[in-house]
Structure 1
Amino acid sequence: MGDIKKIHIIGSVASGKTTLAKKLSRELDLPYFELDNVVWERQQTGDIRRTEEERAEYLKQIVGMEGWIMEGVHNEWWVEESFRHADVIIFLDTNYSVRTYRIIKRFILQKLRLEKAHYTPTFRIFLKMFKWNKYFEENGKPHFFEAFKEVQDKVMKVSTIKELNQRIYSLRTTMPAEKE
């Protein structure tokens, strides 16, 4: 994708953020980071929430890198630096019912140990994911477009993988060729 080296992917639970981040990471040879891992320090004995200062420092280190892919549902004030430094922000606006189906599928696959998770897939978390999905639809999405108006020129809002592929192809073909 030419000069695009800093990509922020945002969307609800089960919108496809991690899958897309991993795919782009392989294709573009860029490291990807999950915002949940910026919030939480993962340890075998259990996750520990980073302090605001630790979280800010960790995010600053990532944002300062030459290239990266960042993904997460977070669109609070502390993520603003990532939005500002991103070359493109991919907003995954996957259909609500598709996300609901994916939450159920993910939970089953995690309980069968066919899919890994950074957390223990309990029934309590399963139910929370439906709440988080609804909250993002009703509050998170409108908040992002209202609170981060200054970065909207970088936003690529897509609903399906097909649409995303078309938009990325369009970016590739309209960008000036790199000089050798």
Structure 2
Amino acid sequence: MRLFVTGPTGSGKSTLAAKLAQRTAVPLFPLDEIHWVRCLSGDRRRDPAERLSMLGEIVQLDAWVIEGVQFRWTDIAMERANRIVILDPPRWRTITRILRRFVNRRRFSGAGHRGTVKALLEELRWSADYYGHERRMLFDTIGQWSDKIIVVRDDKGERALIEAVSETA
């Protein structure tokens, strides 16, 4: 099974992808770990050729779950995926999750790297960009794979997807 899970910041991609990977016993690959080089002084974007090479190796595996908001450079993953799962909740829900995640980061791990007001504002900007124009770009991009697409808009749809994937695993 090869699943590509995408959607806006705060939509629950990482949580859903982890559940799907666990239920199907396949490896999980977060795109953030390919896109970013983690540094104590602040993350930096990985060289595009390097990240495409890394992604190319992953998609050659027989089974995987790949998750992330990145879709502009992930055509090779979407093409090879059996299913493309798009989390498409209303914007208010993602903002609520972003704010809750920020509070939890502050409470349980201190300000840390992602628990800063700067990081919160960055995530809110990413959310605005997604709903402002990237969402349309995503749906335009994936149109070529319409037979593989599953759109999940709420918790009920998410539970149904997990159940369906569990039955086929």
* Aligned residue number for residue 159 of structure 1: 153
The residue identity in structure 2 corresponding to 1:156 is: I
* Aligned residue number for residue 87 of structure 2: 92
**Alignment partner of 1:131 is 2:140:** no
Give distance in 2, aligned partners of 1:153 and 1:159: 18
* Aligned residue number for residue 102 of structure 1: 97
Worse-superposed segment, 12-21 or 156-165 = 156-165
* Aligned residue number for residue 22 of structure 2: 26
* Aligned residue number for residue 13 of structure 2: 17
1:19-69 Cα deviation digits (max 9, x unpaired): 001111111111111111111122456434221111111000111111111
Give distance in 2, aligned partners of 1:120 and 1:93: 24
**Aligned-pair CA distance for 1:171:** 6.4
Q: What RMSD over aligned residues (CA atoms) do the two structures have, in Å?
A: 2.2
Structure 2 unmatched runs, 5+: none
* Aligned residue number for residue 147 of structure 1: 141
Question: Bigger radius of gyration, 1 or 2?
Answer: 1
CA contact (8 A) 1:75 1:140 kept: no
1:90-146 Cα deviation digits (max 9, x unpaired): 1001121111111111001001125998x4321111012111112111211110111
**Alignment partner of 1:121 is 2:115:** yes
CA contact (8 A) 1:106 1:115 kept: no
Identity score, percent? 27
CA contact (8 A) 1:12 1:73 kept: yes
Give distance in 1, aligned partners of 2:125 and 2:4: 24
* Aligned residue number for residue 63 of structure 1: 59
The residue identity in structure 1 corresponding to 2:12 is: G
> Structure 1 or 2: larger helix share?
2
**Aligned-pair CA distance for 1:170:** 5.1
